[in-house]
Structure 1
Amino acid sequence: MARVRYGPRGQEAAERARRASARLPDIWSTGLQAVWETDPEVVAAVLPPPLQPAARPLVRTAVSQVDLPGYPLGAGSVAVAARHADADGWYPLVMPMTHERALIGGREVFGEPKKLGEVGVERGPDGTVRAKLARHGITFVEVTGTVGGALPLPEPTAKLDFYFKFLPGVAGSGFDGEPVLVHCLRHEKVRRLESVTGTVTLRDSPYDPVADLPVRRLVEITLGEKTSDQRGRVAARVRPEELLPYVHQRYDDAAQVLDGPPPGADGTAGEGSV
């Protein structure tokens, strides 16, 4: 009988995959990162328990081109500063990716809020730089500026992100199983870092409403080349009734009533699109 590819794979195949993943080389990305202060009450409003606001009401957006062998990837995120127990980190609200391969592991293993989208970073010969995050024809984050001088390279550092991993209930309400809070620890190395003088523009989108996190004071914009690994662990079990009011953050429409073409699919561009 010919090999049936949907058939079971043996332990040897699983062990080969494990060994291969343990030998991954450094994967470098070039990205623009912007950090700003917003309204404290807004940060508090978007954090599901048991997360708490950090000392400063910070928002961070990162827009990167990742040098995945054979799979060039655009990867982005918008996150707010948060705290769990005695640990400070970031809670991402949306993480656009340019292809499905980057979605699967992050969503299913770590609970990352990844969605397919448009992600781009462009640097002009005159030193200008532009980065964007877009979905459904709307560029909801745009960072533009001019690259300045080189910055001192930071030492390798550990950075923490918070994710909620859950399965919506088969019966149409609640969860199947107990939701968990995941601590995802990344060890980051930087080989190039430059300052950027510029602006952050947030455009309203019903799918990605980051415009609700207004830029009150721009802290910094940087352009860098970085690599990191990541390891996750379950840090806490979450009470379903406390997480349910925030589940809509993960989906464009939890009731799946938007299965038709997105606005602008007839060739017209919606407001804020590029």
Structure 2
Amino acid sequence: MGYRRTPEEIAAVQATLADVEFVGGESLSVDFLTRPDTVRALLPAELDPGASPRLTVQVSRWRSSCVGDFAASAVYVSASHRGVPGDYVLCMFMDSDVPTLFGRELYGEPKKIGTSTLWRNDGHMTGRLERHGARLVELEADLGEDRGPVEVVGRNYNVKYELRPDGTLAGAPTLMRAEFAQRTTVVRRGPARLRLQGTVHDPLHELEVLDLRDAVYVETGMKATCAPVESMDPDAFLPLALGRCDYWPALGTARLPA
């Protein structure tokens, strides 16, 4: 009975989650610098700003060992936790419910549904993110020669929490640290053009770009692990928790008669 997993099925699920891989990845990303006070406002109190006020915009597509094939976009904020550098995931968009639920429920990633696309014409690449008819990200790059291969470890900070039906937090959130052991076969860089737009639900237009860096295109695969690192102050995190959600007051369509 699929709604009550057998011991064998439970063992298979847990084995899959113990060996998570994302493979065949193609990613186009760009870093930019913004104001230090903007970075501080975007980060939970338990995280320190990174060495520079850097944000990263990424559009990508993947295959996987656990959630099928998917396309994704994300915005990251440079951060550190007790001296361990990484990136805080500000927002993330998947093109289907399976990777959305996986990342949100297990890793605490702030995922929503959105349409991400990558196009490549020789050395010219375009990445786009659209959600509810709004084009939130448009990233273009003219790429140079391949500089790969390289192996690196990426590190993301996310937050797991539960909202009560009245919009308050049920207990203390948990800061999570995900690590990605990446084996990258292709690395290409080049000048970038970035356009960020936003809505009341996804205010990417509020992210001020002061210094745009070169774009980076990679072909890569990675193993993922994730673990809790710290309990958090629920009162301090509540504004960020509600900022991860769509702005529900703007979504009303009807009321009962008075």
TM-score with structure 1 setting the length: 0.85
Amino acid at match of 1:258: L
- Is 1:165 aligned with 2:160? yes
Match of 2:84 among 87, 95, 114: 87
- Aligned equivalent of 1:195: 189
Quote the Cα distance in structure 1 between the aligned partners of 2:16 and 2:233. Answer: 37
- Aligned equivalent of 2:53: 57
- Tell me, yes or no, if the aligned pair for 1:32 and 1:63 is still in contact at 8 Å: yes
Quote the Cα distance in structure 2 between the aligned partners of 1:137 and 1:131. Answer: 16
Judged with a 3 Å threshold, the aligned counterparts in structure 2 of structure 1 residues 163 and 25 are, in CA distance, closer, same or farther, namely closer
- Tell me, yes or no, if the aligned pair for 1:75 and 1:96 is still in contact at 8 Å: yes
Q: What is the Cα deviation at residue 256 of structure 1? A: 6.0
List runs of 5+ in structure 2 lacking aligned partners: 254-258
Q: What is the Cα deviation at residue 26 of structure 1? A: 5.7
After TM superposition, where is structure 1 displaced by more than 6 Å over at least 4 residues in a row? Answer: none
- Tell me, yes or no, if the aligned pair for 1:77 and 1:96 is still in contact at 8 Å: yes
What's the % identity of the aligned pairs? 25
Quote the Cα distance in structure 2 between the aligned partners of 1:237 and 1:159. Answer: 22
- Aligned equivalent of 1:143: 139
Q: What is the Cα deviation at residue 196 of structure 1? A: 2.4
Quote the Cα distance in structure 2 between the aligned partners of 1:83 and 1:108. Answer: 23
Quote the Cα distance in structure 2 between the aligned partners of 1:97 and 1:181. Answer: 22
Quote the Cα distance in structure 1 between the aligned partners of 2:182 and 2:89. Answer: 17
Match of 1:248 among 229, 242, 245: 242
- Is 1:109 aligned with 2:106? yes
- Aligned equivalent of 2:256: none
Quote the Cα distance in structure 2 between the aligned partners of 1:228 and 1:91. Answer: 19
Alignment of 1:1-274 (within 5 A): 4-6=1-3, 8-21=4-17, 27-68=23-64, 71-125=68-122, 127-154=123-150, 156-170=151-165, 172-253=166-247, 255=248, 258=251
Relative to structure 2, which stretch is displaced further, 196-205 or 114-123? 196-205
- Tell me, yes or no, if the aligned pair for 1:91 and 1:163 is still in contact at 8 Å: yes
Quote the Cα distance in structure 2 between the aligned partners of 1:162 and 1:204. Answer: 23
Greater percentage in strand? 2
Root mean square deviation of aligned Cα:
2.0
Amino acid at match of 2:234: P
List runs of 5+ in structure 1 lacking aligned partners: 261-274
Relative to structure 2, which stretch is displaced further, 240-249 or 115-124? 240-249
- Tell me, yes or no, if the aligned pair for 2:77 and 2:88 is still in contact at 8 Å: yes
Amino acid at match of 1:175: L
SS of equivalent residue, structure 2 residue 251: coil
Q: What is the Cα deviation at residue 228 of structure 1? A: 1.2
SS of equivalent residue, structure 1 residue 220: strand
Relative to structure 2, which stretch is displaced further, 211-220 or 92-101? 211-220
Q: How many aligned positions are there?
A: 252
Quote the Cα distance in structure 2 between the aligned partners of 1:120 and 1:13. Answer: 34
Amino acid at match of 1:135: R
Amino acid at match of 2:184: V
Could you say which structure has the larger radius of gyration?
A: 1
